[in-house]
Amino acid sequence: MANILISDAEKTFILHGVEDNLRCDGRTRCDYRPMEIETGIVTHANGSCRLRLANTDVLVAVKSEIDIPPLENPDEGKITFFVDCSANAAPEFEGRGGEELAMEFSNTLEGAYRSRQAFNLKNLCILPQQRCWKLYVDVLILECGGNLYDAVSLAVKGALFNTRLPKVTAALMDGGNVDLALSEDPYDCVRLQTESIPILVTICKIGEHCVVDPSAEEEVCSSASLVVGVSVREENAYITNIRTSGAGSFHMETLNKCLELGKSAGQCLDRVLLRVLREEEQKIGNRLIGQTEIFGFLR
């Protein structure tokens, strides 16, 4: 997303590399760069995750409060996204420069999570029509090095995987009052169902070909890009939402190929991410005794 100035010769070099299926860093058009992920690092949050994808660095924290269910869906909870672009992430984020981009991220995430098949808000309901959990997902972009949508969505899923909600006992008393009792035992908690939570996959059109995980330089060379929300359920990938940007366009055949590429990449990312998160969870004891482990994947 950052505005990077590159020469025409550099653009030509990148374009020819994509045509030959050999990008500047040695990847093919379908390869992702290595990532590092760490969860549970924000102590006062219900869940947190930090993800680094090359030079892109994202921190996500999830906080919760008890609220009243929405009138139109009285048996569901709520989830809201707030994105903040650090002024240190890119020069154009200084002042109010990152507000428009932050709003785009928030809207895209909300669109991806709107489907009940992707994230079932009924799991956040405590007592229908009376009380529910409301999740605040705060995203902080610390550094911008390309492919922000993918990095943000992966970090959000990691933070929700790490989220623990106190176990609540609710009862409706006489007079319509609600009696809530929250467990004070930190181990007596409820986890979210995160298996089908969507992942965003960015596909950039460079020349006549499309690539995943574009670097900042490749984003400059792209005529159009497609952000696809992918939810994996029972080993099948489903598209939850689509967002396009750029002055260029996609031919129908190219668009179909991009969607299939997005589904395939999203399914692979989801499988590896969940595996790494479960591995880290099994080794959480190392963190409890003061040792911090950072888990890399897609190497």
The sign of the torsion formed by the CA atoms of 30, 138, 280, 289 equals: positive
Where in the sequence is the domain holding 266, given as residue range(s)?
9-283
Domain presence at residue 297:
no
pLDDT in the model for residue 170: 74
Domain presence at residue 113:
yes
Higher pLDDT, 209 or 89: 209
Q: State the CATH number of the domain containing residue 129.
A: 3.30.230.70
Given a contact cutoff of 8 angstroms between Cβ atoms, the answer to whether 199 and 155 are in contact is: no
Give the three-class secondary structure for 34.
Answer: coil
Domain presence at residue 294:
no
- Among 148, 140, 120, 139, residue whose Cα is nearest residue 56: 148
Domain presence at residue 291:
no
86 burial type by CB count under 10 A (0-12 exposed, 13-18 middle, 19+ buried): middle
Domain count along the chain: 1
Domain presence at residue 185:
yes
pLDDT digits (tens, 9 = 90+) for 160-209: 999 999 888 877 666 667 777 777 777 778 899 898 999 999 999 998 88
Domain presence at residue 223:
yes
Backbone phi, psi, residue 158, to 5°: -65, -40
Domain presence at residue 299:
no
pLDDT digits (tens, 9 = 90+) for 31-76: 999 999 999 999 899 999 999 998 899 999 999 999 999 999 999 9
Domain presence at residue 288:
no
- Calpha distance 53→31 (Å, rounded): 13
DSSP state of 112: H
- Whether the per-residue pLDDT at 94 is higher than 80: the answer is no
pLDDT in the model for residue 299: 47
